[in-house]
A and B are shown apart, each in its own frame.
Chain A
Amino acid sequence: MEPLTVPATLDDLEILADFVIQAARAAGLEKKPAYRLRLAVDEIATNIVTHGYQEMGLVGDITIYADMDEETLTITLEDNAVPYNPLEEAEVTEEDLHKPLEERKIGGLGIFLTLRGVDRFTYERMNNRNCNIFTMRRPSSGANP
C-alpha cells in the first residue's frame, strides 16, 4: 500500500483507521487482531494529535506506512511534532487494573491497550521525526499465537 499523509487533527484519524483496516485485511489478519491493531494505532495517533501537536500549539501531518512480508505486517506512524515516546508514559500496572473504578487514574489506558494489542511496538526518534512502529504476525506464518 502507498503511504498516506493526513493533517494531524482528530477529524482525520478515521482516515488512518480505514488505512489500517485495509492493511490488516490485505495481510489476512483475523477480526480480533485486526481490531486490536486498529485500536493500537488509533491510541498512538490520538496522542500525537493531542499531546504532540495541539497542546504545543503546533500544526502538522501524520504519515502512515504499511509494510508486509511473509511473516509480518508493520504499520508505521511518522510525525514531526515534539519528541514524544509513548513508552515513557506511566504504565498502568496489573494492580491498577484491579482497582475499583472509583480509585482509577484517568490516564495510561491507551498505551496499555496499544502494547496488549500488537506483537511488537517500537518508538524511534529519527531525523527530528517520531516513528511509532506496530508489528503483527500474519496468520500464514505459522508462528506462535
Chain B
Amino acid sequence: MKISSSTQNDVVLVTLEGDVDGKTAAQVQQEVLPLIPEGGKMLVDLTQVPYMSSAGLRTLLLIYRQAQGKGSKIALSGLSEDISDTMEATGFLDYFVVANDVASGLEALA
C-alpha cells in the first residue's frame, strides 16, 4: 500500500495505491488519520484502489468520525464500481461526498 499526500487549494489530497484490506487497513488508518486537518478539507483519492474489504470500510468510518470531530469536510474520488457497490450496500455511500476524479473532488469541496 502506497500512501501519498499533498495540499491543493486548501484541500489535503491523500492518494492511496493498492488494496485496502485486513493487511493494509491498519497502515492506512495510522497514516491518514493524522492528516485530517482542523476545520479544513480532505480529499481521499481511491482511483488506484482496486479492492476494499470491510477492514477498509472500518477505516473510512474512523476517518469520517475524526473529520466530524475536527469540523472538516471529507470527499472521496475515483471509487471503482465494485467498491461503490460495497459502500452502497453498507449504507456508507450516503455519508461521503463522492466524485469521479480528483479534479471534480476538489471542485466539490471548494
Residues of chain A at the chain B interface (Cβ within 8 Å): 10-11, 13-14, 17, 31-32, 35-36, 38-39, 42-43, 46, 49-50, 97-102, 104, 106, 109-110, 112-113, 116
Question: Which B residues lie within 8 Å of A13 (CB)?
Answer: 21-23
Contact of A43 with B82 at beta-carbon distance under 8 Å, contacts A10-B23, A97-B90 already known: no
Our count of residue pairs bridging A and B at CB distance below 8 angstroms stands at 63
Residues of chain B at the chain A interface (Cβ within 8 Å): 19, 21-23, 51, 53-55, 57-58, 61, 64-65, 68, 81-82, 85-86, 89-92, 95
Instruction: Tell me the smallest distance from the CB of B48 to a CB of chain A, in Å.
Output: 16
Instruction: Tell me the smallest distance from the CB of A98 to a CB of chain B, in Å.
Output: 6
Which of B51, B61, B89 sits near A101, CB closer than 8 Å? B61
Which of A32, A49, A98, A109 sits near B54, CB closer than 8 Å? A109
Instruction: Tell me the smallest distance from the CB of A52 to a CB of chain B, in Å.
Output: 13
CB nearest neighbor in A for B86: A113
Question: Which A residues lie within 8 Å of B22 (CB)?
Answer: 10, 13, 42, 46, 49-50
Question: Which A residues lie within 8 Å of B19 (CB)?
Answer: 14
What are 13 A-B interface contacts by the 8 Å CB criterion? A10-B23, A32-B82, A38-B51, A50-B22, A97-B91, A101-B92, A101-B95, A106-B61, A109-B54, A110-B55, A112-B54, A112-B89, A113-B54
Contact of A42 with B21 at beta-carbon distance under 8 Å, contacts A102-B68, A106-B61, A113-B54 already known: yes
> Measured between alpha carbons, how far is A30 from B104 in the docked complex, in Å?
30
Question: Which B residues lie within 8 Å of A50 (CB)?
Answer: 22
Question: Which A residues lie within 8 Å of B91 (CB)?
Answer: 97-99
CB nearest neighbor in B for A92: B90
Instruction: Tell me the smallest distance from the CB of A77 to a CB of chain B, in Å.
Output: 14
> Measured between alpha carbons, how far is A50 from B65 in the docked complex, in Å?
25
> Measured between alpha carbons, how far is A110 from B91 in the docked complex, in Å?
14
Question: Which A residues lie within 8 Å of B68 (CB)?
Answer: 102
> Measured between alpha carbons, how far is A1 from B53 in the docked complex, in Å?
25
Question: Which A residues lie within 8 Å of B89 (CB)?
Answer: 97, 112-113, 116
